[in-house]
Amino acid sequence: MSSSLTRRNLLGASIAAAMGAAAVATKADAAPRGNHLRPPGARPPGEFEDACARCFKCGSACPNNCIQFYGLRDGIGRAFTPYISARARGCTLCGECANVCPSGALKPFGTTREEWRENVDMGTARVNEGQCYSFHGRTCGACYRACPLAGEAIKIGLYETPHVQEDACVGCGLCEQACLHLPQAIRVVPRDKLFKQVKRTREG
């Protein structure tokens, strides 16, 4: 290994360590832009930001190229941590990101439907019936066919109307990516937002 490459690796590690320490000290309070999801196997909000090493290994390992990274304008606590924009490209649940995570911010979650339901909680899909083609007599079914848990997370009715089963949906975002309507008639509410909704309900 060349000395220049070694120096670059050390510099990258130093930056990641500094950002991780800053995240722990400041916490993440800026609202994420867009409808962003954490990668599968992510720790709960707050714990994830504290644990993430900002090493970018999850993005490099993703064969679907769906993992992006927040920047400094998203807040020091969230900067350089990974996210997925489902409309651009959903998650195929391959598990490579979690398998290479060195810090435990992303935990391996398995390869079967049962393991996905038990260990993955990226968010929950919600259907806007006013926009969905199938709810207006124009058979579509694109979201159902894209769902890796079709028949469990999404069931279909007349004209292939999608009915999300929230207890089985893992929030991968493939349904949102596949939706033919503009803007999309099905969206995944990220786990971060669901967490805040539950917290407000309990506090209220």
Half-sphere exposure of residue 133: CA atoms within 13 angstroms, side-chain side: 14
Cβ atoms of 160 and 151 within 8 Å: the answer is: no
**Residue with token string 């079967």:** 112
Q: Calculate the alpha carbon distances from 192 to 31, 43, 46, 171 in Å.
A: 10, 11, 9, 12
Checking if the pLDDT of 6 tops 80, the result is no
Q: Where are the beta strands (DSSP E) in the chain?
A: 36-37, 67-69, 82-85, 123-127, 154-156, 162-164, 186-190
Half-sphere exposure of residue 23: CA atoms within 13 angstroms, side-chain side: 26
Q: What is the mean pLDDT of residues 137-154?
A: 97
Question: How many percent of the chain have pLDDT more than 70?
Answer: 78
**Residue with token string 């019936």:** 129
Q: What is the mean pLDDT of residues 146-150?
A: 97
CATH numbers and ranges of domains, the chain = 1-120 (no CATH), 121-204 (3.30.70.20)
Buried (b) or exposed (e) across 27-57, using 16+ Cβ within 10 A?
Answer: ebeeebeebbbbbbbbbebeebbebbbbbeb
Give the pLDDT confidence of 13-35 residue by residue, as tens digits: 455 555 545 544 444 445 555 67
Checking if the pLDDT of 145 tops 80, the result is yes
Q: Which pLDDT value is given to residue 5? A: 37
Torsion, CA 111, CA 157, CA 163, CA 64, rounded to 10? 40
